[in-house]
Amino acid sequence: MKEGIHPKWYPNAKVIVEGEEVMTVGSTLPEISVEIWSGTHPFYTGTQRLLDTEGQVDRFMRRLQKREELQAVAEELAEKRDPTNLTVDSMSLGTRATNALTGAGVTSVGDVLELLEKGDDALLALPGIGQKALIDIKRFLRNEGMLQ
């Protein structure tokens, strides 16, 4: 046999499970740390034991949290894309009509739709809103798919 090519042999190597020594064996390592041994294995003990091997639960929880964050961002984007949440400024009506609507407390496209449900006269009753502004409002709403 050649000298110096074999690893050092430890005849009383300690086997450690969860911080305590459970047995000694012969090994090339002085200490062996294991998660499962015959004293804790369900096959030998007849009991079930949950092991978190390699942080599987943590990885799952991180993926779940990331998914919830992505869903929240998607819902927020969908809410922003909702045309009823747009401001009256986005309708490009002109300064006079925009000021008239904001002065009357109509600040979003949804508010304009509520007034239009009552009829054209509800919008025309606002000071500063005329036929041209009404036509422009309806054109914008048709382009956004909110009016037929």
pLDDT in tens, 79-135: 777 777 778 878 878 888 888 888 888 888 888 888 888 888 888 888 888 888 888
For residue 34, what are the domain limits?
A: 10-51
Q: What is the pLDDT of residue 55?
A: 77
Tokens at 64, concatenated: 């779940």
CB 20 within 8 A of CB 39: no
Q: What is the pLDDT of residue 52?
A: 63
pLDDT in tens, 9-55: 999 999 998 888 889 999 999 999 988 887 777 777 777 666 666 67
Q: Is residue 4 part of a domain?
A: no
Do 135 and 89 sit in the same domain of this protein? yes
* CA 1 to centroid of chain Cα atoms: 64
Q: Is residue 125 part of a domain?
A: yes
pLDDT in tens, 63-77: 999 999 999 999 888
Q: Is residue 148 part of a domain?
A: no
Name the domain count of the chain: 3
Q: Is residue 3 part of a domain?
A: no
Q: What is the pLDDT of residue 1?
A: 67
Q: Is residue 112 part of a domain?
A: yes
Do 117 and 133 sit in the same domain of this protein? yes
Do 87 and 101 sit in the same domain of this protein? yes
Do 115 and 130 sit in the same domain of this protein? yes
DSSP string of 65-104, one letter each residue: HHHHHHHHHHHHHHHHH-GGGSBGGGG---HHHHHHHHHT
CA 95, 98, 100: angle at the middle one, nearest 5? 105
Q: Is residue 1 part of a domain?
A: no
